[in-house]
Amino acid sequence: MTSKQAMSSNEQERLLCYNGEVLVFQLSKGNFADKEPTKTPILHVRRMVFDRGTKVFVQKSTGFFTIKE
Tens of pLDDT along 5-41?
Answer: 565 667 899 999 999 899 999 999 865 555 665 678 9
More confident residue, 7 or 43: 43
Give the per-residue pLDDT at 40: 87
Strand, coil or helix: 18: strand
The strand pairing partners of 58, in sequence order, are: 49
User: What was the pLDDT predicted at 8?
Assistant: 63
pLDDT of residue 37: 59
pTM above 0.75, yes or no: no
Q: What is the model's pLDDT at position 47?
A: 97
CA dihedral 33, 2, 22, 28 (to 10 degrees): -30
Beta strands (DSSP E) in the chain are 11-18, 21-30, 37-51, 56-66
